[in-house]
Amino acid sequence: MGQTLGEAQFRDRYNAVVLAIARHGESLPGKVSHIPLRAGDLLLLEAPPAFLEQQRGSLDFYLLSPVPDSEPLRPRKAPLALGILGTMILLVGFGVLTLLQAATWAALGVLVTQCCSRSQALHSIDWNVLVVGAATLGLSQAVESTGIAATIAQLTLDRLGSDPWLCLGLVYGLTSLTTEIITNSAAAALIFPIALSLAESLQVSFLPFVITIMIGASASFATPIGYQTNLMVYGPGGYRFTDFLRLGIPLNLLFGLVTWVLVPRLYPFYP
């Protein structure tokens, strides 16, 4: 006791790294390698899987609790993982494979080469995103197959005429309003068939409508429930619902104006 980690050569002796030191229930500030150790100090270690078995009978350590779902990093596999990623990008870029095919092979590659364990791969899957994506695609298909999209498009043309600029502004407004209430992916999937029907009825390029939907679905500023990050800061930041309305609505209008002016010029209606 009384020695620092550096003086005791802790890392070389135990093949483990001390991440933090707690004393009397409080984490000690400063560089851990310069803190003299005392009896009763609590150490947070990062160690290989064999550490627990090696030190099981040792009097030097008393294991309080392991960190759940923790696995050591594999820095030696980093070049291999970068190589797999680069190969995937090249295959997609040169049109050898589709993005889905290349991503699937890349995922299998990192598993086979043990850049990523099976448990890490399973934990990395965001099932909520998959379920929401599947549900919104089904909703989008229902809107199109039941004729709702075509009906809304025809009503829009009856009111606004055949001006693609006005229709583009309406598409942005609908997307922006919808994404404040539901998720951005669901908003995009819901407005997509309506915009497609509008573009086909106007006989103009669909690309400016696609870009507008992308921006409108991403510009969610007016409510805390429209996007995950809004909700994350809503409570801890002490914000009120009206704070988002007061600042978010002007931002939405600004994004809408910039999108409405620039998108048709960068992606013309009549290429």
Select from 125, 160, 193 the last residue of a domain: 125
pTM: 0.53
- Between CA 201 and CA 146 the distance in angstroms is 17
Examine the domain organization and report whether 133 and 251 are in the same domain.
Answer: yes
| Tokens encoding 157 | 């043309």
Examine the domain organization and report whether 36 and 3 are in the same domain.
Answer: yes
Task: Look at the block and give the residue holding tokens 């609908």.
Answer: 174
Examine the domain organization and report whether 48 and 138 are in the same domain.
Answer: no
Examine the domain organization and report whether 121 and 32 are in the same domain.
Answer: no
Q: How many domains does the chain have?
A: 3
Task: State the CATH number of the domain containing residue 19.
Answer: 3.30.70.1450
Examine the domain organization and report whether 256 and 192 are in the same domain.
Answer: yes
Whether 271 is covered by a domain: the verdict is no
- Between CA 157 and CA 267 the distance in angstroms is 21
Q: What is the pLDDT of residue 189?
A: 82
Examine the domain organization and report whether 136 and 97 are in the same domain.
Answer: no
CB 252 within 8 A of CB 221: yes
Select from 100, 125, 150 the last residue of a domain: 125
- Between CA 45 and CA 115 the distance in angstroms is 23
Examine the domain organization and report whether 138 and 245 are in the same domain.
Answer: yes
Examine the domain organization and report whether 45 and 68 are in the same domain.
Answer: yes
Block means of pLDDT (10 residues each) for the chain, 271 residues, are 75 81 80 79 78 69 60 76 93 89 91 83 73 70 74 74 86 88 80 86 90 90 79 76 88 92 91 71
The phi-psi region of residue 261 (left if phi > 0; otherwise alpha if psi is between -120 and 50; otherwise beta) is alpha
Q: What is the pLDDT of residue 68?
A: 55
Q: What is the pLDDT of residue 2?
A: 67
Select from 27, 47, 72 the last residue of a domain: 72
Half-sphere exposure of 158 (CA within 13 A, CB side): 6
- Between CA 48 and CA 156 the distance in angstroms is 64
Q: What is the pLDDT of residue 72?
A: 61
Examine the domain organization and report whether 89 and 184 are in the same domain.
Answer: no
Phi, psi of 196 (to 5 degrees): -65, -45
Q: What is the pLDDT of residue 38?
A: 80
Q: Where are the alpha helices (DSSP H) in the chain?
A: 5-8, 10-14, 51-54, 78-93, 99-112, 118-124, 127-145, 148-160, 164-179, 184-202, 207-218, 228-234, 241-266
What domain range is 37 assigned to? 1-72
